Amino acid sequence: MPTGASEEETAGGIYGVIVSAAVMAASHATTAIAVDLAVLATLIVYWSAERFARLVAERIHQGHRPDVRSVVAHLTSGWEIVTASFIPLVVLILARLLGFAIDTAVLIALASSTLLLCLAGWEMGRNGQLSTGERIGVTAVAGMFGIVLIGLKALLH
């Protein structure tokens, strides 16, 4: 589930699921392992860039080098952007092992990403003390990211 213990972890998890789904949708890889590796490599680049940007921003705004403790804190956090995608990546592998064609397996993995986003939207609504109608709206918006990426996959392939 892309929701975490903190606001930052939840945002990173949701972002990770969306980015991983985008990579899966755009991928032309011919094996599930290749798709998974492309997703993981992309997410690690995004994680690295985000961590680097935070360290640079800290240096700029605090006017001095970050100390070792701060660097370690930055490099040991934010992993939700990567780990939140594990469920769809496992779903992709399982779908292939069950005999689905790669394009179908990717669509199944994208559906699992969409489901995760919907669950995150529903959970955010609950924790945000939204009314049922508002929760449905938040869930629909979260799920639309996945639906758009499924549409993109259908258009690209």
Residue pLDDT, tens place only, 120-144: 988 887 777 888 899 999 999 999 9
User: What pLDDT does 2 receive?
Assistant: 63
User: What pLDDT does 31 receive?
Assistant: 96
- Please give the Cα distance from 63 to 74 (Å, whole number): 17
User: What pLDDT does 66 receive?
Assistant: 85
**Chain position carrying tokens 């499924």:** 150
CB-CB contact of 35 with 106 (8 Å): yes
User: What pLDDT does 4 receive?
Assistant: 59
Which residue stretches of the chain have pLDDT < 70?
1-4
Residue-wise pLDDT for 80-101, tens only, equals 999 999 999 999 999 999 999 9
Pairs from 97-105 (Cβ < 8 Å, separation ≥ 24): 102/29, 102/30, 102/31, 102/32, 102/35, 103/153, 103/157, 105/32
User: What pLDDT does 108 receive?
Assistant: 97
